[in-house]
């Protein structure tokens, strides 16, 4: 719900950005910074964080200096502001000497509203001398979670940003992030010297995103089914853990008719930049990537984010899934999760660099992620609770739409733990999950016979469960810390807590996957119904005509399509079908500069008859 206000901030919002009202806490944050106050802002992706420093930079005297870790995206951010008539520039390693000097001259001459810098640039004495020659309206520190030692995007150069307050004590600073637990929130304030700043914490909820976690069977085929049934022609991101997986999945999708691009740190820098540029500028591309891709991605129409491997933390999962649906339209966060994910992540923690305290921290992050995967409650309730926010069942996640059961798995747990115990204590042997399950199922495989495991007292005692059910038991015991893995081969070993179960002193409750998981057809029907609500039938052809015009214009100007207009703006134009510039100016997202630049073209596109 928008907030009415008056004054120069609202005038800039309307004239430059084309919006009539602020959202949520934007007004309060902007007025605080305009007044010279420091701020630490936690706001979900798509919540409108950038306006919280862009508008104060336009209202206050001087240039707003934005510290951003996203060198590859600075050009797009500057393009988007330039299209609004804002005087913006950036300085980073991609500029040649003449271009850099031109930006520096504009800054010193007071001809820039916003200047984007990488944190590494501030380590340069030359950059600091440059900033001292200009007038600075504010410092904005974007993606501020990069300062956290526990953050998954940790950037050492962020630790030096406290120097800004020391050199410019009277210039207000605003630090912004979409992801922070209470402890990370506190750490950001301490490390950036923002201890006296006012904190603004918005709701972490993204109600338009549907969270779904499915049992991993054949993940690439499962992904393809998702894209074919629910996201044909949609833009999306697929996250994989390894570079090799990225290459293979991208190739698999292309072979099956889905336009897909790979992105990982092992690719040539030019290839990475080209792929990222294509993803931002073209409609309907799927980016298959490691977590090296995505921070700060401004593309508003990403309709899905899929994970084929388990994220290492809830923060990482939230940050990555938050790249879907920035425009507020229905979107999916889909994760395929299985036993091997748990084994792999536990092994990675055990072999990670750092001391025992660091590994314990990684373990806590993983435990929270596993709890989210294994919950029988609403996913959103669990996710928001991690960030300290209470909520009720959302009705828009898989556990709400198709509730799983919880069941007493104490006896199966005892059988499995007993198998591991007998192998380890009676035979001085350690094996992985597959061998333990074969023993429980009474399978006389070559390996079982070779090691005489058919002679164990536990052989065949687990025939009441199917292999897939036993794999779920193993996965959940690992998730609960009742089993552990060790070594390169992922062998199962008991933990200190295993004795509680074996000694019948602890009950083990497990999650049973629903007989009928959320069907693709059901979700597709919901999504098409939502789309139909937002776009009346008579407006659909106009919307497609406007999209075609936007695509051609973006290509001509070499900017992403959303820099011209967001989908939400085109939808409103198609629905209201304005016939004059005055009517078009009332559409949300049509500011003065865009009206002057694109207004007549939009009216012409609306007036074009359907081709014969």
Choose among 391, 374, 483: nearest CA to 203: 391
| pLDDT given at position 290 | 93
Measured between alpha carbons, how far is 72 from 135 in angstroms, rounded to an integer? 26
Burial label, 389 (beta-carbon count in 10 A; 0-12, 13-18, 19+)? middle
| pLDDT given at position 117 | 94
Domains of the chain: 2-201 (3.40.50.300), 209-404 (3.40.50.300), 406-512 (1.10.10.10), 535-607 (1.10.150.80)
| pLDDT given at position 194 | 87
Banded model confidence at residue 3, pLDDT cuts 50, 70, 90: very low
Q: Are 493 and 346 in contact (CB under 8 A)?
A: no
| pLDDT given at position 295 | 64
pLDDT tens for 472-505 read 899 899 888 899 888 777 789 999 999 999 999 9
Q: Are 251 and 244 in contact (CB under 8 A)?
A: no
Instruction: List residues bridging with 394 in a β-sheet.
Output: none
More confident residue, 414 or 179: 414
Given a cut of 60, whether residue 97 has pLDDT beyond it is yes
Q: Which residues, including other chains, have CB under 8 Å from residue 515's CB and lie 6 or more apart?
A: none
Q: Which helix (H) or strand (E) holds 607?
A: helix 592-607
What are the tokens at 177? 């992030």
Burial label, 408 (beta-carbon count in 10 A; 0-12, 13-18, 19+)? exposed
Given a cut of 70, whether residue 134 has pLDDT beyond it is yes
pLDDT tens for 532-542 read 346 788 898 99
How far CA 222 is from CA of 217, 260, 333, 370, in Å, comes to: 8, 16, 14, 21
The strand order across the sheet containing 136-141 reads: 88-91, 114-117, 63-67, 136-141, 173-177, 39-42, 198-201
| DSSP of 33-101 | HHTT--EEEE--TTS-TTHHHHHHHHHSSSEEEEE-S-HHHHHHHHHHHHHTT--EEEESTTS-HHHHH
Q: According to the per-residue pLDDT averaged within each range, which of 29-43, 179-193, 479-493 is highest?
A: 29-43
| pLDDT given at position 348 | 85
């Amino acid at each position: 719900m928008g907030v009415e206000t008056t004054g120069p901030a609202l005038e800039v919002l309307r004239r430059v950005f084309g919006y009539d009202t602020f959202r949520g806490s934007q007004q309060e944050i902007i007025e605080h910074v305009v007044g010279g106050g420091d701020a630490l802002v936690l706001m979900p992706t798509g919540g409108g964080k950038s306006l919280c420093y862009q508008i104060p930079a336009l209202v206050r005297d001087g240039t707003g200096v934005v510290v951003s870790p996203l060198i590859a995206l600075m050009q797009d951010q500057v393009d988007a502001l330039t299209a609004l008539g804002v005087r913006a520039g950036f300085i980073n390693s991609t500029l040649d000497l003449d271009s850099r000097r031109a930006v520096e001259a504009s800054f010193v001459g007071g001809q820039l509203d916003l200047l984007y810098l990488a944190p590494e640039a501030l380590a340069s004495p030359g950059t600091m001398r440059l900033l001292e020659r200009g007038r600075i309206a504010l410092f904005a520190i974007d993606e501020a979670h990069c300062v956290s030692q526990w953050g998954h995007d940790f950037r050492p150069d962020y630790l030096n940003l406290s120097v800004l307050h020391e050199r410019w004590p009277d210039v207000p600073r605003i630090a912004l992030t979409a992801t922070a637990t209470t402890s990370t929130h506190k750490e950001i304030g301490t490390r950036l010297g923002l201890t006296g700043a006012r904190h603004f914490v918005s709701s972490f909820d993204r109600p338009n995103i549907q969270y779904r976690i499915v049992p991993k069977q054949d993940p690439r085929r499962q992904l393809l089914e998702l894209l074919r049934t629910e996201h044909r022609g949609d833009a999306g991101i697929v996250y994989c853990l390894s570079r090799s997986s990225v290459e293979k999945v991208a190739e698999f999708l292309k072979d099956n008719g889905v336009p897909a691009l790979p992105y990982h740190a092992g690719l040539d820098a030019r290839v990475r930049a080209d792929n990222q540029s294509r993803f931002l500028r073209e409609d309907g591309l799927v980016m298959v990537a490691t977590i090296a891709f995505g921070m700060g991605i401004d593309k508003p129409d990403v309709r899905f984010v899929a994970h084929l491997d388990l994220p290492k933390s809830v923060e990482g999962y939230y940050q990555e899934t938050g790249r879907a649906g920035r425009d507020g339209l229905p979107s999916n966060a889909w994760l395929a999760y299985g036993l091997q994910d748990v084994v792999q992540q536990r092994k990675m923690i055990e072999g990670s660099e750092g001391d025992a305290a660091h590994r314990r921290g990684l373990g806590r992050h993983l435990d929270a992620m596993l709890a989210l995967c294994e919950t029988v409650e609403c996913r959103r309730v669990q996710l928001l609770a991690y960030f300290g926010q209470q909520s009720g069942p959302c009705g828009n996640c898989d556990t709400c739409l198709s509730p799983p059961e919880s069941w007493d798995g104490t006896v199966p747990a005892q059988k499995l733990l007993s198998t591991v115990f007998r192998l380890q204590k009676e035979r001085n042997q350690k094996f992985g999950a597959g061998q333990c399950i074969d023993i429980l199922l009474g399978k006389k495989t070559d390996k079982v016979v070779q090691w005489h495991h058919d002679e164990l007292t536990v052989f065949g005692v687990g025939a009441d469960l199917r292999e897939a059910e036993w794999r779920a038991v193993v996965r959940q015991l690992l998730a609960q810390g009742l089993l552990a893995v060790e070594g390169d081969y992922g062998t199962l070993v008991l933990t200190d807590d295993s004795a509680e179960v074996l000694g019948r002193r602890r009950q083990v409750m497990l999650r049973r996957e629903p007989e009928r998981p959320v069907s693709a057809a059901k979700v597709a029907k919901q999504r098409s119904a939502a789309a139909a609500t937002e776009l009346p039938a008579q407006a659909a052809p106009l919307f497609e005509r406007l999209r075609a015009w936007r695509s051609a214009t973006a290509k001509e100007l070499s900017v992403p399509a959303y820099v011209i207009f967001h989908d939400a703006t085109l939808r409103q134009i198609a629905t209201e079908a304005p016939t004059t510039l005055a009517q078009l100016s009332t559409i949300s997202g049509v500011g003065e500069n865009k009206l002057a630049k694109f207004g007549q073209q939009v009216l012409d596109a609306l007036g074009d008859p359907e081709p014969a």
